Amino acid sequence: MLKIGLLGCGRIGQVHARSLMRLDSAKIVAVADAFPASAAALAETTGAEVRDVDAIMASDDVDAIIICTPTDTHYDLIHSAAKAGKSIFCEKPVDMSADRIRDCIKVVEENGVGFLTAFNRRFDPNFANVQARIAAGEVGNVEIVTILSRDPSAPPVSYIESSGGIFRDMMIHDLDMARFLLGEEPVQVFAVGSALVDPAIGEAGDVDTAAVTLTTASGKICQISNSRRASYGYDQRLEVHGSKGMLRAENVLENHVEVATEAGFKRAPTLNFFLERYEAAYLSEMQHFVDAVTNGTPAAPSITDGLRAQVLADAATESWKTGKPVSV
Amino acid sequence: MLKIGLLGCGRIGQVHARSLMRLDSAKIVAVADAFPASAAALAETTGAEVRDVDAIMASDDVDAIIICTPTDTHYDLIHSAAKAGKSIFCEKPVDMSADRIRDCIKVVEENGVGFLTAFNRRFDPNFANVQARIAAGEVGNVEIVTILSRDPSAPPVSYIESSGGIFRDMMIHDLDMARFLLGEEPVQVFAVGSALVDPAIGEAGDVDTAAVTLTTASGKICQISNSRRASYGYDQRLEVHGSKGMLRAENVLENHVEVATEAGFKRAPTLNFFLERYEAAYLSEMQHFVDAVTNGTPAAPSITDGLRAQVLADAATESWKTGKPVSV
Amino acid sequence: MLKIGLLGCGRIGQVHARSLMRLDSAKIVAVADAFPASAAALAETTGAEVRDVDAIMASDDVDAIIICTPTDTHYDLIHSAAKAGKSIFCEKPVDMSADRIRDCIKVVEENGVGFLTAFNRRFDPNFANVQARIAAGEVGNVEIVTILSRDPSAPPVSYIESSGGIFRDMMIHDLDMARFLLGEEPVQVFAVGSALVDPAIGEAGDVDTAAVTLTTASGKICQISNSRRASYGYDQRLEVHGSKGMLRAENVLENHVEVATEAGFKRAPTLNFFLERYEAAYLSEMQHFVDAVTNGTPAAPSITDGLRAQVLADAATESWKTGKPVSV
Amino acid sequence: MLKIGLLGCGRIGQVHARSLMRLDSAKIVAVADAFPASAAALAETTGAEVRDVDAIMASDDVDAIIICTPTDTHYDLIHSAAKAGKSIFCEKPVDMSADRIRDCIKVVEENGVGFLTAFNRRFDPNFANVQARIAAGEVGNVEIVTILSRDPSAPPVSYIESSGGIFRDMMIHDLDMARFLLGEEPVQVFAVGSALVDPAIGEAGDVDTAAVTLTTASGKICQISNSRRASYGYDQRLEVHGSKGMLRAENVLENHVEVATEAGFKRAPTLNFFLERYEAAYLSEMQHFVDAVTNGTPAAPSITDGLRAQVLADAATESWKTGKPVSV
């Protein structure tokens, strides 16, 4: 039974708490949050104690830390937890600065603690199935990866101003997915972008519609496109063209009902909310983390995966700003 | 080059004429119709001569007769053509009376002429593919056949009054398809029906919504349902459950475009008009007839297939009227 | 917080216990099972106490009873629970005898306790969506209902010998679904059946492949077909043809990935195990029961729904045995 | 009745001849080919006369010229035909040199003759439907266009050596399609490419796997990817993400049959041969040309469309070679 300290009791912290409650092999012992009411509420639901962060780090009855606090706190928390010998599950991004992530890698490695960077989409049953079948050789050598990702609607401009922009807060998931599926590091990034959804996003110095091309040393190609708004919901698709075939993960719709009328055949919209769309992924991700820590095996995506996705997001941002391909 | 005399220049006659014009191995030599203007128009399009029926039967330059005239004329035309040694392509139904079809079988057999009963749906690329894969053993032994067939809209009551009713004018196609897919003769028919689409159809002594259950000697089961009206178009689907798997033929839609909006994912309606839906089937059917006559091999569906479908339609009508299963 | 006593800690009892643990509004207080080890195991997982059945019926801290024991015990348990004023959630079938179910209805009504007959499929998100859209008038008047239901593989003959046969142990779900979707009581049942999957099933006096036609007073038609074996998994589909359109619930597949190779486009098999296929339905069913009891509103499907499905299953069995349609 | 002179009786010439034979409003009067036997064969099939090119240009009974000869002959034939006042249907590419196409535009405009550049895919019923619905505003403003195009197998290296490379011989169709769907001229092209299918293609100085990003002045984005080889057939898909929704054209499969077995649900491969996949497009294209010339309205795609696609293909080639985005 892995004993957990959960830091940050907001929306994503609650998601992970619910996953942990469904696992027989883990138990939330303590929770902490800057807002005492949030911590108290999650303590009530989970049966955990409220403790402050330092106390959790010092607790003998805590084996692993789940970090769901704001990004700018990750660096210090990772350092504290690693030094305290706790395994770490850290929400993405690990940090907004690649150099600071490198510092975190150092402290994690020095202390030999387990670490999972929470790129939840790798655990989606569909995308995980695609990757497993690539690994099994079902489509031969991967040649072209295509990732189509659109959010239902744009976040407020205030969020974008602090998020690092579309490549760092949204496309970073797709950049990690590209690495997961390509099986080889991208060496070049080319990005274009436009503010087509909301001019205020453009005025804030970002774009809401973006496309990236990645290439690897052996010549594999990945095309990604993002939009901050899709009238039909949360659009999350990808496909992999290989030497022996093609794998395609389609959207998850609200249900499997089709209605036929004079207007044609109509199916349901996509699952519209990311917590619902990726519910199974969040559960599977936590199961993987708990199993890895319990068994002493490495968790994946690792903290290095977290670094590499951030480096790609930085390169995409630079490419978009300069209009030129960027080597990584 | 098979030389053809075409009798009946109405809608279905024109369909067969167009098919023949696309074949290199056949040529329409002569056409006839009770309405001289119809015959003249088709002669103009095809380059054929207008002749009267007797002249066509007596023509040395005519090898085969295509019968597209009203059902009540089929009997005499089949007799004349068979005695004249012409191969025969006959629109369905061969005749409204099973006994009279038996007479036709006799004259066809006595004169050794080729004969095809025009159950065009057997030649639909989808349904033909299903049957070929059954024959190849892909789903093992056939156990349950399900046929769903709906017309876009009900014909005028005047048509129904002379058509013999829904089991004979509409479901007969499905009854033939059932035999084609079951690979075994039905021995019992149970039918139910209601006038739900148009009360006038009920007042005319028929139904517009009907369902039939067929069973064979070895216990295979077929369920068929029909409606005279589908808001979403011409619905033509079937599936075959076998010991090793299931084959399913889906509808043919107007195109392969899907639109996603707030309302969900919408595909096009079905091809709505039977001539368009079965265009490929009509061409393939005629190719088969021409090849069979040219090569001296039997055409299928045969005149006996025409008889058996009519017997099943009669039995379904009786079952619906009496409320009891009918043995055949 | 609804306090629950759960009777029967086998497979389905465990399913309902897991659902209850995911609900905030209910709590399992006590469990009972003829096998002490089973009760103890479930008590451990849920934090409930083990009590004997009489003690549970007498417990002041138990509001509602979940009956997951063998069918032949339902009658007595329903009587005890009703007299003790407990609301009742009862696994299907309520009883193998329609007359004994009528006795149960009497005791439930006399004591005014809530009752839910656990036809879980009504709570499947897809089928529930179909019914809700019928109710909203989306396809106009229902005219033809088609239900296709196949199990992955046949149960042992020993099960069939005591189950009451395919119409009572398997098709009863589809008969209830037919009533749910038709919105009108069937007045006639016609059934056919064959032992095509396993001759031993035939020797045991049952069939493994069956088809039923239901008709209602106003002329609506329902066709159901069942097979005990589908190579491709648990096949659960239905469709509703109405005056304004058609609703179709497709299978739930293991994932949304398609692979394209020389052989064509291949999607995953269906979710193969009923507990997995209907996981969401079991949860939604329990939520509905807890809400209904808590709010004092009627739960559905009711005990009368349980009776009517049993009457239809009896009629189907009789029709299959006699070869004649049976009025109900 | 439009009277046609057809130049070049090879594979694509035969395709257009078959289309013309299915149209009532046009007639092939004369054919020419450098190989007399080819001309004679097509004359036999169509009932046309064999004439030499100069004679066709001089014929009073020829209204329009179909140019299906090798690309390097187009320039002179366009000049001759335009000066002779004949309308022109010209296979793509108009010429390998943009400057020479500009000369052709001049002679076509000076002589006021009709001209169609045969980008057949615009006439595919699916792609044409997508464009018509964009034009009707069904998805609002176009923001992202995604085009996925893969050939069943790579051509011989000898073809590639003279074809101008993948961007000019294969992707040019997609570049034209991008313009058709974007409704706005691309202003920048970025291309990447690799020889992953056949190293000999790389040795010949070309690539077999390529991806392009186009951007327009207003910020619309198009991503195209190509492969010379797809194990599953001729893969031709596209989608358009707009402010109000998304339109998606899926592949055309060999049939609409699905088989379910232990391995899952399997549909047919794509129509594998471009002449079959685009049969309807070829017919519709010719119908459009004949109608436009007959009615004196402009045909589209125009010769200017032919120029712009070639300019984009040149820019893509340059971008791939230099590794930099190219402005157009």
Q: Helix/strand/coil (H, E, C) string of D281-325?
A: HHHHHHHHHHHHHHHCCCCCCCHHHHHHHHHHHHHHHHHHHHCCC
Q: Which residues of chain B are within 8 Å of residue D247 when distances are taken between CB atoms? A: 257-260
Q: Which residues of chain D are within 8 Å of residue B259 when distances are taken between CB atoms? A: 133, 138-139, 245-248
Which residue in C123, C129, C166, C153 sits closest to C235, CA to CA? Answer: C153
In this prediction, residue A225 carries a pLDDT of 98
Average pLDDT over residues C19-24: 92
Q: Which residues of chain D are within 8 Å of residue B135 when distances are taken between CB atoms? A: none
Nearest CA in chain B to D24: B45
pLDDT digits (tens, 9 = 90+) for B207-228: 999 999 999 999 999 999 999 9
- Asked if A92 and A71 touch (Cβ cutoff 8 Å), the reply is no
Average pLDDT over residues B121-134: 98
Task: Name residues whose C-beta falls within 8 Å of residue D259's C-beta, 6 or more positions apart in sequence.
Answer: B133, B138, B139, B245, B246, B247, B248, D265, D266
* Separate counts of helices (H) and strands (E) for chain B: 13, 15
In this prediction, residue C274 carries a pLDDT of 87
Q: Report which secondary-structure segment, H or E, holds B246.
A: strand B246-249
Q: Which of D211, D213, D230 sits opposite A192 (nearest CB)?
A: D213
| C-alpha Rg value of chain B to the nearest Å | 20
Q: Which residues of chain B are within 8 Å of residue A272 when distances are taken between CB atoms? A: none
**Contact criterion met (CB < 8 Å) for A211 and D223:** yes
Q: Which residues of chain C are within 8 Å of residue A260 when distances are taken between CB atoms? A: 245-248
User: Residue B38 is which amino acid?
Assistant: S
CB contacts < 8 A (A, B): 52
In this prediction, residue A240 carries a pLDDT of 98
Average pLDDT over residues A12-22: 95
Residue-wise DSSP of C254-296: S-SEEEEETTEEEEPPBP-SHHHHTHHHHHHHHHHHHHHHHHT
Q: Which residues of chain C are within 8 Å of residue B231 when distances are taken between CB atoms? A: 243-246
**Contact criterion met (CB < 8 Å) for C230 and B220:** no
In this prediction, residue C162 carries a pLDDT of 87
Q: Which residues of D262-272 are buried (b: 16+ CB within 10 A; e: fewer)?
A: eebbbbbbbbb
- What's the predicted TM-score (pTM) here? 0.95
Task: Name residues whose C-beta falls within 8 Å of residue C36's C-beta, 6 or more positions apart in sequence.
Answer: C50
**Contact criterion met (CB < 8 Å) for B221 and C209:** yes
Which residue in D25, D171, D21, D17 sits closest to D89, CA to CA? Answer: D17
Q: Which of B146, B188, B196 sits opposite C148 (nearest CB)?
A: B146
**Contact criterion met (CB < 8 Å) for A192 and D221:** yes
CA distance A324 to chain D (A): 7
Share of chain C above pLDDT 90, in %: 95
**Contact criterion met (CB < 8 Å) for C262 and D269:** yes
In this prediction, residue A327 carries a pLDDT of 98
The tokens for C146 are: 């088609």
Phi and psi based region of residue B89 (left: phi greater than 0; alpha: psi -120 to 50; beta: remaining) = beta
Helix (H, G, I), strand (E, B) or coil at A285: helix
**Contact criterion met (CB < 8 Å) for A255 and C138:** no
Q: Which of D125, D256, D259 sits opposite B255 (nearest CB)?
A: D125
**Contact criterion met (CB < 8 Å) for B269 and A262:** yes
pLDDT digits (tens, 9 = 90+) for C113-153: 999 999 999 999 999 999 999 999 999 999 999 999 999 99
pLDDT digits (tens, 9 = 90+) for C187-200: 999 999 999 999 99
Task: Name residues whose C-beta falls within 8 Å of residue D48's C-beta, 6 or more positions apart in sequence.
Answer: D6, D28, D29, D30, D31, D42
Average pLDDT over residues A164-184: 97
Residue D275, pLDDT above cutoff 90: no
Q: Which residues of chain C are within 8 Å of residue D265 when distances are taken between CB atoms? A: 232, 253, 266-269
**Lowest mean pLDDT, pick from A153-162, B64-73, D121-130:** A153-162
**Contact criterion met (CB < 8 Å) for D250 and B258:** yes
pLDDT digits (tens, 9 = 90+) for D152-192: 999 999 998 889 999 999 999 999 999 999 999 999 999 99
In this prediction, residue C60 carries a pLDDT of 96
Look over chain D and give the mean of its residue pLDDT values, rounded to a whole number. 96
Between strands A326-327 and A264-267, the pairing is unpaired
In this prediction, residue B272 carries a pLDDT of 83
Tokens 């009267």 correspond to: B52
CA distance D300 to chain C (A): 35
Nearest-10 crossing angle of helices C98-111, C303-322: 170
CA distance A172 to chain D (A): 19
pLDDT digits (tens, 9 = 90+) for C221-235: 999 999 999 999 999
Helix (H, G, I), strand (E, B) or coil at B86: coil
Average pLDDT over residues A105-123: 98
In this prediction, residue D274 carries a pLDDT of 87
Q: Chain D interface, mutation test: which of B236, B255, B279, most D Cβ atoms within 10 Å?
A: B255
- Give C14's pLDDT tier (boundaries 50, 70, 90): very high
Q: Chain C interface, mutation test: which of B129, B174, B201, B213, most C Cβ atoms within 10 Å?
A: B213
**Contact criterion met (CB < 8 Å) for D231 and A244:** yes
In this prediction, residue B275 carries a pLDDT of 87
pLDDT digits (tens, 9 = 90+) for B271-285: 888 888 999 999 999
Nearest CA in chain B to D45: B24
Average pLDDT over residues D75-86: 98
- Asked if C255 and A126 touch (Cβ cutoff 8 Å), the reply is yes
CA distance C110 to C132: 31
CB contacts < 8 A (A, D): 116
Q: Count CB-CB contacts under 10 A for residue B101.
A: 25
Q: Which residues of chain D are within 8 Å of residue A213 when distances are taken between CB atoms? A: 190, 192, 211, 213, 223
CA distance C86 to C108: 10
Q: Count CB-CB contacts under 10 A for residue C162.
A: 12
pLDDT digits (tens, 9 = 90+) for C32-86: 999 999 999 999 989 999 999 999 999 999 999 999 999 999 999 999 999 999 9
Longest dimension (CA), chain C: 66
Look over chain C and give the mean of its residue pLDDT values, rounded to a whole number. 96
Report how far Cα B194 is from the mean position of its chain's Cα atoms: 24
Average pLDDT over residues D125-134: 98
Q: Report which secondary-structure segment, H or E, holds B27.
A: strand B26-32
C-alpha pair distances (Å), A308 with each of A114, A171, A300, A315: 18, 13, 13, 10
Q: Where are the alpha helices (DSSP H) in chain D?
A: 11-21, 36-46, 53-58, 71-83, 98-111, 125-135, 157-163, 166-169, 171-182, 199-203, 274-277, 279-295, 303-322
Tokens 């020829």 correspond to: D62
In this prediction, residue A162 carries a pLDDT of 87
In this prediction, residue D161 carries a pLDDT of 85
pLDDT digits (tens, 9 = 90+) for A237-252: 999 999 999 999 999 9
User: Residue A74 is which amino acid?
Assistant: H
**Contact criterion met (CB < 8 Å) for B192 and C215:** yes
CA distance B94 to chain D (A): 30
Q: Chain B interface, mutation test: which of D27, D240, D256, most B Cβ atoms within 10 Å?
A: D256
Q: Count CB-CB contacts under 10 A for residue C7.
A: 26
Residue A257, pLDDT above cutoff 90: yes
Look over chain B and give the mean of its residue pLDDT values, rounded to a whole number. 96
End-to-end CA, chain C: 41
Share of chain B above pLDDT 90, in %: 96
Q: Which residues of chain D are within 8 Å of residue B138 when distances are taken between CB atoms? A: 259, 261
Instruction: Give the sheet arrangement for strand A87-90, strand by strand.
Output: A49-50, A26-32, A2-7, A64-67, A87-90, A115-117
CA distance A90 to A305: 12
Name the DSSP letter for residue D231.
T
The tokens for C109 are: 């009504």
CA distance A327 to chain B (A): 37
Neighbours of chain C (3+ CB pairs under 8 A): A, B, D
pLDDT digits (tens, 9 = 90+) for B134-185: 999 999 999 999 999 999 999 999 998 889 999 999 999 999 999 999 999 9
Neighbours of chain A (3+ CB pairs under 8 A): B, C, D
pLDDT digits (tens, 9 = 90+) for C74-92: 999 999 999 999 999 999 9
**Contact criterion met (CB < 8 Å) for C144 and B211:** yes
**Contact criterion met (CB < 8 Å) for D269 and C264:** yes
CA distance C248 to C242: 11
CA distance A244 to chain C (A): 7
| Phi and psi at residue A119, to the nearest 5° | -85, 85
Q: Which residues of chain B are within 8 Å of residue C210 when distances are taken between CB atoms? A: 221
Q: Chain C interface, mutation test: which of D251, D258, D265, D271, most C Cβ atoms within 10 Å?
A: D265
Residue B6, pLDDT above cutoff 90: yes
The tokens for B80 are: 């004349």
CA distance C254 to chain D (A): 9
